[in-house]
């Protein structure tokens, strides 16, 4: 057994937790939309074609905001194709994923789905094949009350009230050579500036995110963000980050290093953004939108990325997640919460079928992948302020990161309810962890509400259509609360959630 210690104090706060960090992503890619969230004729589908079983699981998962319609798809997307009578919509070739797009699901359908699931939309505009004026027109269609050609066009499509979409992404991964009409940093910075200027003239209440570099290992990383923000610093609220964790050597301890690298990336991009602020003598702080992140390394073959013959809704990027993937996702959630002062939005990519926590069969069932559980527990229990953690833990050395503590943890405190939640990952694969948590100033009379653990002896265990409950959370009986102290035993290789409530605070 290894011994660890976690100390927090009510007076040492990282930040209020912005619940937008529990976002997700739906792209017109593979089966994310068609036979994912939308499947007319499915036994559970409603009159709009929305799969009821997927909506139920989405509500349980709890995403607060969902990014749409891409992704790589958006850089070749004409928004006009996805509005108006469905029978009149054009069928197009989707160059991003070598598929045929029927456009039967578009803007107003997605907004209806968001309302049905009580989710805020995050919308991306096409800055690949299109530009500032098309983005301006689309915003007017969506958000202007009425009395203009575009807002009245929306009304003629059966949507009387404006959608009032607040969060907009200025393109997607524009430095990636795979991106349709990719751009240099100067080219993109200029177009982001002009697009933001036009969009804010239409609706000054919106928030805008500029594209950061597509990956940490891109040659443009760091310099791209610096150049882009030099152009559009005054025009945007966020810079985006994207990362996909890969188990390159089939080693779980090495894989866990991705969690530390995510923390490093956050701090690096914060430094770049603040460097631009310093040059501009500005007190403004650019926030981070981690609007694509997940584990993805198995479904990466050519066959996973595209199919021949321009098929409709082919099976693409259908990653099957195992136990160790769920632990990494849990660790990533901890990292983002511990950086809540600058990470104000994030999107687990994606929601259904395509590298998603939810899987479906056309005409058949839907089920939870292993990564579903850490995310659902975080959205359920993480409310309030993130407290600054002080961690004492033995660590190990890996190629992916020089020093990896076995304990990865954060604490979120909801002063309004007296509830304090500890999220803890034991990265030791063979030793039980003895964890002592000191909740200083958070109340001496505490009750234990929940003690949950996600663990499986097989790191490669998965949930499938035929065995959907192979890896599921279980109660941890080895947790005790004594005043402001929690004593717990955490299984090797486990994600843990401990929720306590104080009756009174000093």
CATH number, domain of 37, equals 3.20.20.80
Token pair, residue 196, equals 């933001």
In Å, what is the CA distance from 173 to each residue of 14, 215, 257, 363?
29, 9, 24, 34
Please give the pLDDT value at position 400.
Answer: 84
What are the φ and ψ backbone dihedral angles of 335, each rounded to 5 degrees? -60, -45
Among 27, 109, 134, 173, the one annotated catalytic: 173
Please give the pLDDT value at position 444.
Answer: 85
Residue 216's domain comprises 19-131+166-180+206-381
Residue whose pair of structure tokens reads 């200027």 in the numeric block: 197
- With a CB cutoff of 8 Å and minimum separation 6, the contacts of 395 are 403, 404, 405, 406
Please give the pLDDT value at position 419.
Answer: 97
Among 292, 319, 324, 484, the one annotated catalytic: 292
Identify the segments of the chain with pLDDT beneath 50.
none
Residue whose pair of structure tokens reads 């292993």 in the numeric block: 370
Please identify, among 381, 401, 419, the residue that sits at the C-terminal boundary of a domain: 381
Q: Are residues 451 and 363 in the same domain?
A: no
* Residue 197 is assigned to a structural domain of this protein: no
Q: Are residues 364 and 407 in the same domain?
A: no
Q: Are residues 68 and 45 in the same domain?
A: yes
Against a cut of 0.95, is the pTM above it?
yes
Q: Are residues 369 and 266 in the same domain?
A: yes
Rounded to an integer, what is the distance from CA 449 to the centroid of its chain?
27
**Nearest alpha carbon to residue 314 among 81, 67, 33, 24:** 33
* Residue 143 is assigned to a structural domain of this protein: no
**Nearest alpha carbon to residue 442 among 483, 487, 393:** 483
Number of domains comprising the chain: 2
Q: Are residues 229 and 360 in the same domain?
A: yes
* Residue 446 is assigned to a structural domain of this protein: yes
Please give the pLDDT value at position 506.
Answer: 61
pLDDT digit string, tens, across residues 40-63: 999 999 999 999 999 999 999 999
Q: What is the CATH number of the domain that holds 457?
A: 2.60.40.1180
Q: Are residues 424 and 332 in the same domain?
A: no
Please give the pLDDT value at position 153.
Answer: 98
Q: Are residues 271 and 372 in the same domain?
A: yes
* Residue 199 is assigned to a structural domain of this protein: no
Q: Are residues 322 and 425 in the same domain?
A: no
Please identify, among 332, 360, 381, the residue that sits at the C-terminal boundary of a domain: 381
Is the bond preceding residue 71 a cis peptide, omega within 30 degrees?
yes
Q: Are residues 488 and 407 in the same domain?
A: yes
* Residue 459 is assigned to a structural domain of this protein: yes
Please give the pLDDT value at position 163.
Answer: 98
Residue 292 designated active-site = yes
Please identify, among 359, 381, 403, the residue that sits at the C-terminal boundary of a domain: 381
- With a CB cutoff of 8 Å and minimum separation 6, the contacts of 107 are 79, 82, 83, 141, 142, 163
Residue whose pair of structure tokens reads 């660790």 in the numeric block: 331
* Residue 57 is assigned to a structural domain of this protein: yes
Please give the pLDDT value at position 462.
Answer: 98
Q: Are residues 451 and 375 in the same domain?
A: no
Q: Are residues 214 and 257 in the same domain?
A: yes
* Residue 253 is assigned to a structural domain of this protein: yes
Cα–Cα distance measured from residue 14 to residue 385, given in angstroms and rounded to the nearest whole number: 7
* Residue 317 is assigned to a structural domain of this protein: yes
Q: Are residues 433 and 350 in the same domain?
A: no
């Amino acid at each position: 057994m290894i011994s660890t210690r976690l100390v927090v104090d009510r007076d040492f706060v990282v930040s209020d937790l912005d619940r937008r960090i529990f976002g997700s992503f739906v792209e017109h890619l593979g089966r994310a939309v068609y036979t994912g969230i939308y499947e007319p004729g499915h036994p559970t589908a409603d009159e709009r074609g929305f799969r009821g079983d997927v909506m139920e699981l989405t509500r349980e998962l709890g995403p607060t905001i969902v990014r749409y319609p891409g992704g790589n798809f958006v850089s070749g997307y004409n928004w006009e194709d996805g509005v108006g009578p469905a029978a009149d919509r054009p069928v197009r070739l989707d160059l991003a994923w070598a598929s045929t797009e029927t456009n039967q699901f578009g803007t107003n359908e997605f907004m209806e789905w968001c309302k049905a699931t009580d989710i805020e939309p995050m919308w991306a505009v096409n800055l690949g094949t299109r530009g500032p004026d098309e983005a301006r027109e689309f915003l007017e269609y969506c958000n202007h009350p009425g009395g203009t050609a575009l807002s009245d066009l929306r009304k003629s499509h059966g949507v009387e009230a404006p959608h009032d979409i607040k969060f907009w992404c200025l393109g997607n991964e524009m430095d990636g050579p795979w991106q349709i009409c990719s751009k240099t940093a100067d080219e993109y910075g200029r177009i982001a500036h002009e697009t933001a200027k036009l969009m804010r003239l239409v609706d000054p209440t919106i928030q805008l995110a500029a594209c950061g570099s597509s990956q940490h290992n891109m040659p443009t990383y760091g310099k791209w963000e610096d150049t882009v923000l030099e152009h559009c610093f005054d025009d945007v609220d966020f810079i985006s980050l994207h990362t996909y964790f890969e188990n390159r050597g089939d080693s779980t301890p090495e894989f866990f290093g991705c969690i530390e690298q995510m923390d490093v990336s956050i701090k690096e991009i914060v430094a770049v953004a603040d460097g631009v602020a310093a040059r501009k003598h500005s007190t403004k702080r650019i926030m981070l939108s981690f609007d694509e992140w997940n584990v993805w390394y198995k479904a990466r073959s050519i066959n996973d990325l595209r199919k021949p013959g321009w098929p409709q809704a082919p099976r693409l990027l259908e990653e099957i997640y195992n136990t160790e993937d769920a632990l990494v996702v849990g660790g990533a959630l901890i990292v983002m919460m511990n950086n809540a002062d600058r990470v104000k939005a994030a999107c687990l990519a994606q929601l259904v079928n395509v590298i998603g926590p939810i899987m479906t069969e056309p005409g058949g069932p839907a089920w939870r992948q292993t990564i579903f559980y850490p995310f659902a527990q975080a959205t359920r229990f993480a409310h309030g302020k993130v407290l600054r953690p002080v961690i004492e833990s033995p660590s190990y050395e890996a190629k992916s990161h020089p020093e990896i503590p076995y304990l990865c943890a954060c604490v979120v405190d909801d002063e309004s309810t007296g509830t304090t939640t500890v999220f803890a990952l034991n990265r030791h694969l063979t030793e039980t962890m003895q964890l002592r948590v000191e909740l200083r100033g958070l109340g001496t009379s505490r009750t234990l509400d929940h003690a949950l653990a996600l663990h499986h002896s097989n790191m490669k265990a998965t949930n499938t259509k035929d065995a959907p409950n192979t890896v599921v959370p279980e109660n941890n009986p080895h947790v005790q609360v004594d005043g402001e102290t929690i004593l717990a035993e955490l299984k090797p290789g486990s994600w843990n959630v401990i929720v306590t409530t104080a009756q009174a605070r000093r």
